[in-house]
Structure 1
Amino acid sequence: MKILFLGDVVGISGRSMILNNLLSKIKDKKIDFVVVNGENAADTGMGLTESICKDFFNCGVDVITTGNHVWAQKETVSHIEKENRLLRPRNLFAASPGKGFGIFTAKNEMKVGVLNLMGNVFMKKCEDVFESADKFLQKYKLKEHYDFLIVDFHAEVTSEKMAIGHFFDGKATLVVGTHTHIPTNDERVLKNGTAYQTDAGMCGDYDSVIGMNKENSINRFLKKKSIKHFPAIGDATLCGVIVDCDIETGLAKKIEKFIYGGELKNSH
């Protein structure tokens, strides 16, 4: 069983790279299940649309996760209520539309749970993520409710991400961070069998500032007059992880970084 997780897709550059390459990568790597964080996939680099969701599903994506920009496109509020494969952070306040967890069927017919969480430190206010995670684990169990569990932790701070990784160790197949758009070099299988990486990185143009136009970004930091922020549109890199899973335990046997194309070059 192989799972591919791809980090935050940024703008048309990141979308195009996925649409043009994902199906071939799924075939080459013999991937059974694909999760993509799509919260920056719109042309503006903020949010996503129904059309973008359909394009992703048509090119091999099984589930789309999100984060703090999930409501940036107004249509998402209604679309997420009818599209179960689109998730928002589970620990958003209870009245939020949509769901933060689902159980899905992989290409090999195995059941995959996908949990979307958001951090509390330096992020938009939401319910306590550790309390939410604890409640989740009291209700759902690996190999009882699903064969595998993927946790997308959308958070700013590395310490909070690492703590969540250890909190789920032995209870999830994969815990991977999103939001900071930079692939970390710490992919590993934790002591109790959970695959972990602090941040998956982004699917976007790395000749940029976390996917956004670099000149405009610098002007904003210099407090110079700048035009409305927009994504970089050069060749994108796909960034994420591939996890080889143990069918018997639901835990990870191996995790490897996946980086393809663009400024970060081809690693596969």
Structure 2
Amino acid sequence: MRIRLPARCGGPARSGTPARAPSRRTARRALPAVVALTLLVPMYACRAVPTPPSAPTPWPAGYAHRWQWQWQLTGPVDTTVEADVFLLDPVRTTSAETAELRRRDRRLVCQVHVGSYADTDPDATRFPAAVRGVATDRPRRHWLDVRRWDVLRPVLADRFRLCRGKGFGAVALADADGYAHRSGFPLHFDDQLRFNRRVATLARSLELSPGLVDDLDQVAALAPDFDFAVNEECVRLHRCAKLLPFTEAHKPVFHVEYTGTTATFCVTTVGYGFASMRKQRDLGPWRDPCPLP
């Protein structure tokens, strides 16, 4: 994401009298100071305003544990939620909604199912029978044979282009753990690693910051390849420590629990450095975020 400064941050307003141009010698002497000021102004002088994305979303290391986030996949997108990061469905979300969120200086992440397809997906017919596996634990969704990169790559590339076209700067890769399930294919640990790395590389080539959804048993190997992680219910499942390779690398972990209360699980997850909240399983607009540390 490119960052531009508002007009009020660039210096005093122009008056009716034009300023005298500096001499060449004066300009050379002033250059180091101008460069330093350019670097410091976004941090100290005013709030940066995003322009339409043309690069992967940045995740400043110093803010890794301070993001507030929203994950909404059902219902009209509530653009007024006080969150820094929005994880949304790129098909259901409109360009008007993403434009409004970007106007409010929000970071936008699209969720793309890279290892599965649903009968209702607009591009479902692009997957030939040879790569279609058995049903996942979600209604009408089936696993894909992630060994067939030649078949899956063009479809995934178009899904990522849809994200870019609607103004997203990052993508969360869902169902990237088919090897750990009964997928209908003899997938192995290394097959999944190879596929997930290829998808992360593809996302970067299309100017999207890649994030890994769940797939906890491969986090130690994949954390260097991804910019952030999204996790469901690591507290309930007693697996939060698996995500430490991300936080130790100062990369954000966006975490959600569907049961319990923030009063009980936030102590654990905020201590790990996660951005955590409570959600309902339908992932509608309601959220109960953990307080910032």
| TM-score after normalising by structure 2 | 0.40
Structure with the greater alpha carbon radius of gyration: 2
Bigger fraction of residues in helix: 2
| TM-score after normalising by structure 1 | 0.43
